[in-house]
Amino acid sequence: MGFSIKTIAAGIAVCVCCVVASAQSPAPVRRTDNVPPKPSGATPRTADGHPDLTGVWNGIGDTLNGVPNQMANDGIYVESETSAHDVFSGARIFTFPRNTNRVPTNAADERAAALLRRVGANRPLYMPEYWQRVRDLDANANDEDPTNNCMPAGVPRAGIPLYIGQQPGSLIFIYPGQGGLIATQTMYRMVPLDGRQHTPLQDLDGTYTGESIAHWDGDTLVVDSWGFTSNTWFGQIGGYFHSEDMHVIERFHRDGNTLTWTATIEDPQVLLEPWTTTPRVAVLNANPHAVLPESDPCSERDLGHIVTKEHH
């Protein structure tokens, strides 16, 4: 089969145009920082005047996914290629240019990730008799992590819900199942916002999300939860176990297109003092018609093949 000169010339022209068009396309935006973005836009409000938290809060991806996000969750903010600090202690963290001659491997990246997720200074203060237990749980996370085998992350380990639906008198939180740092099944919470009080703790069966009630503290939504099973950890990693008496106070504050979340954990059975997570920031999905996609079914495939104690 032959081609005419015109056909060949047109083909060359198309190719040249493609190259030019490609060259003129904006390069993908590469971030060299993990600092939560500044808020933009107005904060929408409901008829009763409170901030409206409704939306899909995955504008910068899942808050548990990706080592840069996990470092920020741990309190390590890298502002630029030459500046980083610990937001809890204020300590400077030294930065270095990457080695361009380093050959990346999965093993090296995983080991680095395990270190990077634990650099931060903001750690809960356990009673001394539990210090070794926390170390052991973390070191043996491949056996001990309660999310193994696709169990729920629970509250507050699940972090910021990816979807919040705010109605008069209640809220719906949805946490799609996910892979990444921990692989978990889908979790949801229905949180009353009608002034009701907690059920007495002794009357509750412990659950992964506990019993939650919410109220407004100014423009901040406060979600108060108790009635948990002890079969969860409350930190993103680290072996941070708790008792069935854990009490969690989450605070959600919307500012424009950002949602800042913290959780304070009280557990006088195991902690010397309450502990508050480093603030996490989620960004609203910019698409006003965004919906949550169906999450993939969680299937544990790795545990049976693990031969070292290396872990997330």
CB of 239 to other proteins, least distance (A): 7
CB of 94 to other proteins, least distance (A): 4
Indicate the residue among 67 and 222 with the shorter CB distance to other proteins.
67
CB of 195 to other proteins, least distance (A): 36
Distance, in Å, from the CA atom of 13 to the CA atom of 21, rounded to the nearest integer, reads 12
CB of 243 to other proteins, least distance (A): 16
Distance, in Å, from the CA atom of 289 to the CA atom of 279, rounded to the nearest integer, reads 27
CB of 199 to other proteins, least distance (A): 31
Indicate the residue among 4 and 99 with the shorter CB distance to other proteins.
99
Neighbouring residues of 57: CB distance < 8 A, sequence distance ≥ 6: 160, 161, 162, 163, 164, 259, 282, 283, 284, 285
Buried b (16+ CB within 10 A) or exposed e, 102-125: eeeeeeeeeeebbebbbebebebe
Indicate the residue among 86 and 211 with the shorter CB distance to other proteins.
86
CB of 85 to other proteins, least distance (A): 10
By three-state DSSP, how is residue 112 classified? helix
Neighbouring residues of 123: CB distance < 8 A, sequence distance ≥ 6: 238, 275
Let me know: does 222 contact 193? Beta carbons within 8 Å: no
Indicate the residue among 12 and 107 with the shorter CB distance to other proteins.
107
| Pairing outcome for strands 211-217 and 76-80 | unpaired
Indicate the residue among 39 and 61 with the shorter CB distance to other proteins.
61
Indicate the residue among 128 and 288 with the shorter CB distance to other proteins.
128
Indicate the residue among 289 and 305 with the shorter CB distance to other proteins.
305
Distance, in Å, from the CA atom of 194 to the CA atom of 251, rounded to the nearest integer, reads 17
As a whole number of Å, the end-to-end CA separation of the chain is 57
CB of 274 to other proteins, least distance (A): 12
